[in-house]
Each structure stands twice: as structure tokens, then as C-alpha cells.
């Protein structure tokens, strides 16, 4: 088969399909063959050996033997992994599995008295028939598994290129947005410095001007402040996350609301953070809000892109003058220590702001990305752990 190579998860799924089909068909055949042999055809081991017939005991004995043979067949399916081989190797393995199971069944029948030692002809015929039936079961299971493999490969040939292209486009857009945000931060800082310098010059002129000029200069200062505020709002609306000027809580709500169905995203927060960061006058300030928002956006994106998560929870709390944010998902998780380069620059900026980033495993499976950000300026990166029950390490 052509197409993307199967992953370890694909191989395990194919193996389970083979084992499941062999188990179901083998068990059905075992029970029906035992009942037919004893109750319909009247073939009983005790009758063959000249002993009084006991049909129920003989049915039970034959069923147990045949079910044991089914267990052997399933173990062979699990060990041989026939579905991973191409013809003719897979066909030889099917025949070998059938012959092995037929031989095991014959030995068990001889050892339990189903056949006597003198009935080798009947034993060989029974073994041959069993080998053929088991081989047909393996062949059917292999056919179904092959169809499953072909369907999966066809879907991936169609879907994977589109997914790769969409992911590449998303990465380009995110990279462009990050560059614009960095430029916007630099522009905002430069603009604020220049406006403050102009304001200082105007105030100095106003202090030395006469009364009429001071009134005009005061009006100019008011217009300059209004222009600065309008420019900041326009810049924030064009570059920054939605609602960021109204506080971290509204911005996070807007971010969570943009995640499409059927992904389930839950936002939890305590009363303290709702009261302090529910408006634009919160203690964090715009820079720290932006850092936490970008970390939340990165955490949700990584949970979807790398963790294949269907459930994500974002929690926000204020404890001891520190804001704690956790993005936890129920995806496939990450290996520690994790190396997510997309978080590297963001981690550095958060640490420069006095915060700390932790990446670890979520209890019960999944990934937990946590950040602790001091409300006031911090001198060092010493902070408490990322949350109870988490197995996490600082992201380095």
C-alpha cells in the first residue's frame, strides 16, 4: 500500500482488529461445532470408546477444548502480526497459524479422550478440517484489516496534505501576528516616550508663558492626551487580543469563545481575579496581561495541535499578589522534559516580567501549562509550584 506510513497507534489498532475478529468468529465456530457434533450428529467421545453416553458432559468438554483453541488463535494473531506483512509472507503465516491451531486441537482431543489412540485417521481428518477453518478465519480477519488499512491510507492521502497546508498557514499567520505585536510594543514604548518629552516641553513653555498662552498650551496638552489615548486604543484594537484593554478576564472570555465546536473549553476563575482583572484598571497592567494572554493562546493551540485534546480547561486565580493561570487538557500528553520551541521566547519575556512558566502532565492524562505572574514588579523568579496534583518542571 502507498501513502503515509502507519504509526504505532495504527499498528496497535490493526492488531486489535485481527484479534477481535479471530476471537469472535473462532468462539462462534467452537460452540456451534461442539453442539453439532454431539447433539445433531450424535458423535460422542464416550460412544466411540464403548462407554455410556453423557451428551452434556461431552458438549462441555468439546466446548472447553475449542475455546482453548480460540485463545491459542488469538495469541497467534497477536504474536505473528500477519497484517503487517505483505503477500506471499502473509499467506504463509495464515496457513502456518491454521496448521498450528489444528495440531494443538488434535493433541488436546487425544489427551482428553475425545479420540482414542487407535483413531489416528479420524484425528488427522479432524485436524485438517480445523486447520482449514482456522485459516479461513485468519484470512477473513486479514481481509477486513487490509480494507481498514486501505481506507485509512486513502483518507490520509486526501486529508493530510490539506491539514499540513492549513497548519503551515496558521503558523505563518501566528508568526506574523507575533512579529506585529513585538513591533507594536516597541512602537507604543517609543510613542509614549516621545509624547512625554513633547508634553514636558509644552509644560515648560506654559510655565514661562503669559496667561493667554498658558490657556492655549493647556488646550494643546489636552488634545495631545486625547490623541495619545485614541492612538493607543486603535493600536490595541488592530494588534492586541480582543478585550485586552478591558482586563484579563474579558480577554480570556473572548479567547475561549473563539474556540470552535466540538472542542469543549471551560474557563474557571476565583472571585479575587474577577474583581481585580474584570476591568481595564486591574493591577496587572497591559504588558503582563498580554504575556498571559499569549501563553493562554499558545497553550490552547498546542493542546489542539499536539495533544489532539477535545476538552480544555483554563483556570485563573489571584493568590498572595500573584496571578496563577493554568491551561490543562485531556489530550495525549507530552513527554517530560518537553521541548516546545514556540514557548521559548514567551517564557523568556514572562521571566523578565518576574513570572515563571511550568509545563507538565495533567493528573489522569493530558498536559498542564501553568504561569505565575506577580502583580507587582518582582526581583526574582522564585514562585510556588504550578498547582496541586501536577507533575511539572520549569520550562527551560
Percent of the chain exceeding pLDDT 90 equals 30
Contacts of 77 (CB under 8 A, 6+ apart): 15, 18, 19, 22, 97, 138, 141
> Distance of alpha carbon 17 from its chain centroid, rounded?
23
Q: What is the pLDDT of residues 211-256, one digit of tens each?
A: 777 777 777 777 777 777 776 666 665 666 778 878 899 999 988 8
> Which of 229, 228, 220, 226 is closest to 202 using CA atoms?
220
Q: What is the pLDDT of residue 40?
A: 46
Give the C-alpha separation, 137 to 23, whole Å.
9
Q: Are 104 and 96 in contact (CB under 8 A)?
A: no
Q: What is the pLDDT of residues 292-316, one digit of tens each?
A: 998 998 888 888 877 778 889 999 9
| 3-class secondary-structure state, position 356 | strand
Residue 176: pLDDT band (50, 70, 90) is low
* Whether the predicted pLDDT of 381 surpasses 50: no
Kindly report whether the peptide bond that precedes residue 17 is cis, defined as omega within 30 degrees of 0: no
Report all structural domains of the chain as residue ranges with CATH numbers, in order of start.
Answer: 8-164 (no CATH), 242-396 (3.30.565.10)
Report the interhelical angle of 120-208 vs 8-35 (nearest 10°).
150
What is the distance between the terminal CA atoms of the chain, rounded to a whole angstrom?
A: 42
Higher local confidence (pLDDT), 5 or 128? 128
Which residues are registered as beta bridge partners of 358? 370, 394
Match 496638552 to its residue by C-alpha cell.
Answer: 221
252-262: average pLDDT: 86
Question: Environment class of residue 260 by beta-carbon count within 10 Å: exposed (0-12), middle (13-18) or buried (19+)?
Answer: exposed
Lowest-pLDDT range of 53-57, 159-163, 218-222, 260-264: 53-57
Contacts of 218 (CB under 8 A, 6+ apart): 206
Give the C-alpha separation, 390 to 380, whole Å.
23
Q: What is the pLDDT of residue 78?
A: 93
Q: What is the pLDDT of residue 379?
A: 42
Q: What is the pTM of this model?
A: 0.48
> Which of 378, 379, 360 is closest to 288 using CA atoms?
378
Greatest distance between any 2 Cα atoms in the chain: 134
Q: What is the pLDDT of residue 36?
A: 66
Q: What is the pLDDT of residues 229-241, one digit of tens each?
A: 776 666 665 666 7
Q: What is the pLDDT of residues 102-146, one digit of tens each?
A: 999 889 888 887 777 778 888 888 889 989 999 999 999 999 999
* Whether the predicted pLDDT of 165 surpasses 70: no
Residue 328: pLDDT band (50, 70, 90) is very high
Q: Is the alpha carbon torsion for 279, 285, 287, 293 positive or negative?
A: negative
Higher local confidence (pLDDT), 26 or 377? 26
Report the interhelical angle of 120-208 vs 55-80 (nearest 10°).
50
* Whether the predicted pLDDT of 19 surpasses 50: yes
Q: Are 265 and 320 in contact (CB under 8 A)?
A: no
φ, ψ of residue 217 in degrees (nearest 5): -65, -35
Give the C-alpha separation, 154 to 173, whole Å.
29
Amino acid at each position: 500500500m502507498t501513502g503515509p506510513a502507519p504509526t504505532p497507534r495504527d499498528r496497535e489498532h490493526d492488531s486489535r482488529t485481527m484479534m477481535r475478529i479471530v476471537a469472535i468468529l473462532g468462539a462462534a465456530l467452537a460452540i456451534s461445532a461442539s453442539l453439532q457434533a454431539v447433539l445433531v450428529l450424535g458423535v460422542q467421545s464416550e460412544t466411540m470408546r464403548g462407554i455410556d453416553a453423557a451428551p452434556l458432559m461431552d458438549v462441555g468438554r468439546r466446548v472447553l477444548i475449542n475455546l482453548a483453541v480460540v485463545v491459542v488463535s488469538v495469541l497467534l494473531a497477536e504474536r505473528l502480526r500477519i497484517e503487517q506483512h505483505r503477500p506471499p509472507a502473509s499467506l504463509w503465516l495464515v496457513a502456518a497459524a491454521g496448521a498450528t491451531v489444528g495440531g494443538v486441537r488434535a493433541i488436546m482431543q487425544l489427551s482428553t479422550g475425545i479420540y482414542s489412540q487407535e483413531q489416528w485417521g479420524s484425528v488427522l481428518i479432524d485436524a485438517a478440517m480445523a486447520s482449514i477453518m482456522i485459516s479461513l478465519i485468519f484470512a477473513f480477519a486479514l481481509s477486513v484489516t487490509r480494507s481498514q488499512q486501505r481506507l485509512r491510507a486513502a483518507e490520509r492521502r486526501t486529508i493530510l496534505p490539506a491539514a499540513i497546508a492549513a497548519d503551515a498557514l496558521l503558523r505563518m499567520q501566528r508568526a506574523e501576528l507575533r512579529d506585529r505585536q513585538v513591533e507594536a510594543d516597541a512602537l507604543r514604548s517609543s510613542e509614549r516616550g516621545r509624547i512625554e518629552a513633547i508634553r514636558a516641553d509644552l509644560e515648560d513653555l506654559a510655565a514661562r508663558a503669559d496667561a493667554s498662552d498658558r490657556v492655549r498650551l493647556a488646550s494643546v496638552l489636552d488634545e495631545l492626551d486625547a490623541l495619545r489615548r485614541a492612538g493607543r486604543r486603535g493600536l490595541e484594537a488592530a494588534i492586541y487580543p480582543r478585550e485586552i484593554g478591558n482586563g484579563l478576564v474579558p480577554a480570556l472570555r473572548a479567547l475561549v469563545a473563539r474556540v470552535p465546536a466540538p472542542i469543549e473549553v471551560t474557563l474557571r476563575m476565583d472571585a479575587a481575579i474577577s474583581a481585580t482583572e474584570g476591568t481595564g484598571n486591574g493591577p496587572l497592567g497591559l504588558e503582563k496581561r498580554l504575556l498571559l494572554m499569549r501563553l493562554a493562546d499558545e497553550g490552547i493551540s498546542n493542546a489542539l495541535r499536539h495533544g489532539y485534546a477535545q476538552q480544555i480547561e483554563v483556570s485563573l486565580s489571584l493568590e498572595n499578589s500573584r496571578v496563577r493561570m493554568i491551561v490543562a487538557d485531556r489530550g495525549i500528553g507530552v513527554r517530560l522534559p518537553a521541548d516546545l520551541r514556540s514557548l521559548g521566547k514567551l517564557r523568556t519575556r514572562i521571566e523578565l516580567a518576574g513570572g515563571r512558566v511550568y509545563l507538565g502532565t495533567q493528573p489522569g492524562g493530558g498536559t498542564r501549562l501553568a504561569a505565575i505572574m506577580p502583580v507587582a514588579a518582582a526581583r526574582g523568579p522564585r514562585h510556588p509550584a504550578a498547582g496541586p496534583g501536577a507533575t511539572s518542571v520549569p520550562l527551560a
